[in-house]
Structure 1
Amino acid sequence: MGIDLYWDKTFFKQQQHVFDFQLSFAKENKLPVIINARNSLDEIIDVMKPHFNSDLTGVFHCFPGNSEQAKLVIDKGFYIGIGGVLTYKKSNMPEVVRNIPLESILLETDAPYLSPVPKRGKRNEPSYVSYVAEYLSGLIDCDFDLVCSKTTQNAKDLFNL
């Protein structure tokens, strides 16, 4: 769920309305949300403001923001979804990830898109998440197994598994 302004902004108001409805539904039913903020993170945060400081939680899929935005959504009880983009040379994600706790990170794919280095340019698949975990462990100077176990536990906590 979310707002996608990548291709077309024609139905922006409708997307805002539907997103707000989905957030209300998730909150009422105590369901975590997976938020897609493609070219729309500020707009998403604006719609979410009335829902913050409630029992609503979830993950920002393929988080597209900066450190300040990450801190804001983490402080509101959300996780930051990190995928292959973390490994890209021109990505701002390494800076973002260095400034947030491992307890706030979920590892994910955007399969079949956004394959991590060294598989960039190939069709992404779930097994490639290990490359993201490896890159993250080096970036934050944390044991690979700890990165894997902690981010897995984060997912279990979020989805009540």
Structure 2
Amino acid sequence: MIDTHAHLYDPIFKDEIEIHVSDIKAAGVSEVWLPNCDLASWGQLVELANAFPEFALPMIGLHPTYVKENYQIELAALAKILAEQKVLAIGEIGLDYYWDTTYKAEQIHAFETQCHWAMDNKLWIDVHCRKAYSDLLLLLKKSEYANLSGIIHCFSGDAREAKTLVDLGFMLGIGGVITYKNTTLFNDIKEIPLTNIVLETDAPYLTPVPYRGQPNSPKYIPLIAQKLADLYEVSIEELIQITDANANRLKVASGY
């Protein structure tokens, strides 16, 4: 299995990273894709990617909740790194209006700047979107982004938004939320073919049932896979085969 989105470089894992990686591999996870947050997190991320080069694959980007007054300085520094560093994707980038919209305009500008990074480098994008799907769709529908593709990480939109994003060429990242008792997520994605779904954990966040309340780990991705297999009424083997193939198409497209 491929975990397409996990912050395995988070300090919560650092002191016992060898043990964590061993446990994750033992659970059947072959790769963990690492979304970046900002310039400060990049050092920890790339250190992990260099330590486990076939297992932990790096992305680079400025997360929307890290877009503040100095975002242009952050972007310039990350752009310099991108010019020299091989990465899987541009991410995690996007829009987040959940807590605060003070930097809404800056988030949009940062997102579009990084979309151009992706196109210029023939990479895909890993998109964070929270309470901002209307703006995200307006942006991604622009003709200049017609060839962009990627993953909508931790998809949380409605059925119409799910279909629109898939029609635009994006896959939907599904994680621990699918296991929650009161979630409506499956109702919103049930018309989306499995060929447009990838697995993720967003570790150490969004821990699946029955481990909610504890830090999440990529080792829990079998729980997400099994829940999706049950909901789509396929075997877990078929679910894993399809979602891995989806992830690998993106990996091949970025030449990683």
The alignment's TM-score, normalised by the length of structure 1, stands at 0.94
Separation (CA, whole Å) in 2 of partners of 1:106 and 1:52: 25
Tell which deviates more after alignment, 91-100 or 122-131.
91-100
RMSD: 1.4
More strand by share: 2
The alignment status of 1:20 with 2:112, answered yes or no, reads yes
Check the 8 A contact 1:137/1:144 in 2, yes or no.
yes
Alignment partner, residue 135 of structure 1: 227
From 82, 85, 93, the equivalent of 2:174 is 82
Alignment partner, residue 126 of structure 1: 218
| Deviation readout 1:53-89 (Å, 9 max, x if unpaired) | 6221000000011111110010111000000001111
Alignment partner, residue 199 of structure 2: 107
Which of structures 1 and 2 has the bigger CA Rg?
2
Structure 2 portions without partners, runs of 5+: 1-92
Letter in structure 2 aligned against 1:65: G
Separation (CA, whole Å) in 1 of partners of 2:216 and 2:143: 33
The alignment status of 1:31 with 2:123, answered yes or no, reads yes
Instruction: Report deviation, 1:113.
Output: 0.7
Check the 8 A contact 1:20/1:48 in 2, yes or no.
no
Letter in structure 2 aligned against 1:143: S
Letter in structure 1 aligned against 2:121: N
Alignment partner, residue 61 of structure 1: 153
Tell which deviates more after alignment, 24-33 or 133-142.
24-33
Alignment partner, residue 242 of structure 2: 150
Instruction: Report deviation, 1:153.
Output: 1.0
Q: Select the structure with the greater relative contact order (CA < 8 A; seq sep ≥ 6).
A: 2
Separation (CA, whole Å) in 2 of partners of 1:52 and 1:83: 30
Separation (CA, whole Å) in 1 of partners of 2:193 and 2:145: 20
From 198, 209, 216, the equivalent of 1:117 is 209
Check the 8 A contact 1:23/1:51 in 2, yes or no.
no
From 98, 115, 130, the equivalent of 1:6 is 98
Separation (CA, whole Å) in 2 of partners of 1:139 and 1:51: 35
Instruction: Report deviation, 1:96.
Output: 2.0
Counterpart secondary structure, 1:36: strand
Tell which deviates more after alignment, 1-10 or 43-52.
43-52
From 37, 43, 50, the equivalent of 2:135 is 43
> Structure 1 residues 52 and 118 mapped into 2: Cα distance closer, same or farther (>3 Å)?
farther
Separation (CA, whole Å) in 2 of partners of 1:78 and 1:91: 22
Structure 1 portions without partners, runs of 5+: none
Check the 8 A contact 2:129/2:153 in 1, yes or no.
yes
